[in-house]
Structure 1
Amino acid sequence: MRAALGELARRHKDTLIVGRTHGVHAEPTTFGLKVAVWYTEAGRNLERLRRARAAVAVGKLSGAVGNFAHVEPEVEEEVCRELGLEAAAVSTQIVQRDRHAEFCTTLAVAAASLEKIALEIRGLQRTEILEAQEPFAEGQKGSSAMPHKRNPELTERICGLARLVRTNALAALENVALWHERDISHSSVERVVLPDSTILVDYLLDLATFVVEGLEVDPARMAENLERSYGLVYSQRVLLKLTETGLARQAAYEIVQRNAMRAWRERRPFLELLAADSAVTERLGPDELKACFDPAWYLRHVDVIFKRAGLIPEGGFRPPSGTSPRGLRQQSRRSKRAK
């Protein structure tokens, strides 16, 4: 899974896309950076799973209440060693269930990360966005009633099953507190949640890898959507450029916001409105203002981020042709002409 995410991130390192916060256009970013977040999170989950596996790999043969009343500690150590387990330093009649809870909650975190990826893909596959789509085989039915539909059923399945893994984690936490040196209230629960959670996460990893490897990404659509908010995604750049001239931030904010709200209402280019506002032009020349609308500004540290994430190998990385910001702008213009 992580290898598939790394490949996808590198392929789209410079593929321009609008970043969205609260579901609203925010600022330009790249699809590769979006996937790089998933890639690094997958790495953390691998580390968590390794730690959780080590935490739960313990055994005990210390007797009914854990005090070795009828067996020597050396016997426990030898048996655990033969089984590849660590002998619990202290126990009761059972290995303490905080270990199992840690394992199950780690599985739940891993499942939540897969759900996070699936939810994003579902959002990007919405008709009004349509920037990426999960794999869809020839002849496959998206809807039994509406032939035109291509529903994101694989990613919906991932989101649904992740809920079960989280629910099982809660049951494992409930198993930590037992009466005195042990009761049996945890046993029946574990016979369900432990096999179910491990099987589910294995399945979710396999399904999510299939989706990521077959993900259909539309860079031209991403470029089109970036322009749908009339250039408002560059508002902060204009704001900061105005403050660099000595204008108070609050005054600059009001000027930019006034023009931004007008662009929304009148559906007019943000740059056009700013260029006609004397409060802006008395401080910024035409070239300075236009430079604020260059998406390349927002991509200038992408390589640094990818190196920090371990996604750029020694010798650097050259993205596939057509994924540069300039190439995407050209794709967007060609698409507009075709319409």
Structure 2
Amino acid sequence: MIPRYTTPEMGEVWADTTRFGRWLEIELLATEAHAALGVVPDADAVACRERAPQTDAAFVAAVSERERITDHDVAAFVDVVQAAIGAPAGSWIHYGLTSSDVVDTALCLAMRDAGRLLVSAADTLIATVTDLATTHRDTVMIGRTHGIHAEPTTFGAKAALWALQLDRDRTRLRTATETVAVCKLSGAVGTYSNVEPAVEHHVAEALGLTAVPATQVIARDRHAELLYACASTAATCELIAVELRHLQRTEVGEVLEGFKPGQKGSSAMPHKRNPISAETISGLARVVRSNLLAALQDVALWHERDISHSSVERIIVPDSTTLVHYCLQRLNRLLGGLVVNVDRMRDNLWSSRGLVFSQPVLLALVAAGRSRDDAYRIVQRNALRSWEEGVDFRQLLENDADVTLTPQQLDEAFDLARSVRNIDRVFSELHSMASR
């Protein structure tokens, strides 16, 4: 992933130095497990640990140079490590193992660490969204369906629903992280023909992973599950971002992204204040979702293994986790600095001259004895006239002989508080989430 969208924490997870460090630790743990079984001399296992090279930039360069000859990254890695340790101890490195034992276990370890970062970032974002929802619990605004004024809601209720959806994504991320936190050191086709199961269990326990049966590779449905959790989280981030983009449009103006001193919205037009964070999140979500398809296609491999998945995973797993981490953090900053225009929300609600109360009027007419179809046509007739002539909706109703409602009944139908009186239903769910 390009540095622009890479957070320092996630960048460290996927750095080559970190990757080779994981490979080396797996090799050393396996050698020590073999020593415990009496396969490797104890002194040689100790020497391997003591003489093991640092997996720094110089080490990465050495492996890369060796790979030019071997045309195999793990073989190159093993050659460099064995040379650094020296004979005879170094010869025990990679004993009984196949490349996938090391690569797959290390990849699962990386995905576990990446998943934990995603869950932590989701925790922070959910807290921010929950605070936003609580602050604006009673900030009444117009709800829109198909982009058209529908009925009143509150900005707090909107944000509360975001938090609840993010919580579901957090659960998916936690579950997927657990699913992928596994270890496999069972040899060429997974039969433990050249390595005892005790070696696998020793390495798994030391790394905090779960040993699982496998072919030569760990089943890729596990990886696809994490990529789905990433795609779902990115989709939720985009859902929020798209809403904020619409609400920031000049014609709406109900929210604004924060704008720091010295910031420029346009190189040409000094007045511009654009929803750049929300737009960036929308764009990156497209990449994450597209990566899910590739992850699902990686599940079906030939027989006990092939490497058609390998090149794909080198791109999509680091990129997806990195982008989602970036999106979660950037959305958190966006919402933490969001400017909510309460007055504009109120003005927009009333800009349709009371039409947003058409359903309560309809129901009042039905309760007064009208058939639903008759009541609907009466209300619709007046609503259309209000739209076309720019006349107050209630005034038209009061002047319509077919509307047999008392002033008190109309007052109740046009009562804004009535529209949001049950908003606590949403917040009870939010409070339950927070207490879990």
TM beyond 0.5: yes
1:74 lines up with 2:198 in the alignment: yes
Please name the residue that 2:184 is paired with: 60
What residue is the counterpart of 1:171 in the other structure? Answer: 294
Runs of 4+ in 1 over 6 A off after TM superposition: 311-314
Identify the match of residue 145 of structure 1 among 263, 268, 281: 268
What is the deviation of 1:227? 1.0
The letter for the 2-side match of 1:190 is E
Query: Is 2:136 the partner of 1:12?
Result: yes
2-structure distance, mates of 1:148, 1:71: 68
After superposition, where does 1:89-128 map in structure 2 within 5 Å? 90-128=213-251
Question: Are residues 1:304 and 2:428 paired?
Answer: no
* 1:21 has 2:142 as partner: no
- Letter of the 2:414 counterpart: F
Structure 1, unaligned stretches of length 5 or more?
315-339
Once the two structures are TM-superposed, the CA of residue 310 in structure 1 deviates from its matched residue by 0.9
CA distance in 2, matches of 1:251, 1:122: 39
Deviation at 1:73, TM superposition (A): 2.2
Tell me how large the CA RMSD over aligned residues is.
1.4
Counterpart selection for 2:330 from 187, 197, 207: 207
8 Å contact kept, 2:141–2:346? yes
Which among 154, 157, 178 is matched to residue 33 of structure 1? 157
User: Structure 1 residue 289 and structure 2 residue 432: aligned?
Assistant: no
Q: Going by fraction, where is helix more abundant, 1 or 2?
A: 2
2:249, 2:261 → 1: CA distance?
Answer: 20
Aligned to 1:86: 210
Distance, in Å, in 2 between the alignment partners of 1:313 and 1:41 is 13
Q: Which residue of 1 aligns with 2:361?
A: 238
**Amino acid paired to 1:284:** L
Does the 8 Å contact 1:108/1:169 carry over to 2? Answer: yes
Kindly state the Cα deviation for residue 312 of structure 1 after the two structures are TM-superposed: 10
Contact 1:13-1:33 at 8 Å conserved across structures: yes
Any conservation in 2 of the 1:271–1:290 contact (CA below 8 Å)?
A: no
Q: For residue 309 of structure 1, give the secondary structure of its aligned residue in structure 2.
A: helix
Aligned residue number for residue 12 of structure 2: none
How far residue 212 of structure 1 moved from its aligned partner, in angstroms, is 0.3
Contact 1:5 1:39 in 2 (8 A): yes
1:261 aligned partner: 384
TM-score relative to the length of structure 1: 0.89
Partner of 2:402, secondary structure, is helix
Q: What code does the residue aligned with 2:408 have?
A: D
Percent identity of paired positions between Structure 1 and Structure 2: 53
- The offset of 1:311, in angstroms, is 7.2
1:219 corresponding residue in structure 2: 342
Q: Is the CA contact (8 Å cut-off) linking 2:186 and 2:197 kept in structure 1?
A: yes
Superposition deviation, residue 27 in structure 1:
0.1
User: 1:139-184 deviations in whole A, cap 9, x for unaligned?
Assistant: 3111111111111111111111111111222211111111111100
Matched-pair contact (CA < 8 Å) for 2:161–2:426: no
